Structure 1
């Protein structure tokens, strides 16, 4: 059985991310990045500040995945913020996939299949 470190640079943080990671590993998805920092908002001390952190990403194919738990992503303000960040990624040529936690809990395999389909078409 492969471990997260075999399948990803970094580790999934939440239960829904781990569930999707396991489904991706079961399908044999290529090695990706968990908790991928994208973009740079700049800073006063020169330390990069990411625009967003994708839960999973495959930078070579420019595919990013976000796993949104209701607790942290249900407000209109948060959803507008998420949309703006993801639209910025799309404008940079990324394919961005977003899944609600409930989708992942109900059918992580289907979510993983959609991710894998994008990975194979974005090569």
Structure 2
């Protein structure tokens, strides 16, 4: 899991660098890698906990990636209003994602959460 998360962050950095350079081909390439990495994270997580539905988790990760990409685009355009709105939307989404993961852990280990 650690290597998947490290890769996740490194790919995000590559996307940002390519976007700053205006290299749309590289942005597209790295985005494909990012979604592949998200699929690997979801596969790992859903196999670790039967309470984490793979499709639900996939949708959550994809939404997060799309919102993060939109935020980068807004920021690079200097559209601060859109940047803030997208960041707020992504934060709310990540809170819900955290709740989903937490609920799965509690269901998997109910005796630990009495």
More strand per residue: 1 or 2? 1
Q: TM-score, normalised by structure 1?
A: 0.35
Q: Which has the higher contact order (CA 8 A, sep 6+)?
A: 1
Work out which of the two has the higher radius of gyration on C-alpha atoms and give 1 or 2.
2
Q: TM-score, normalised by structure 2?
A: 0.37
More helix per residue: 1 or 2? 2
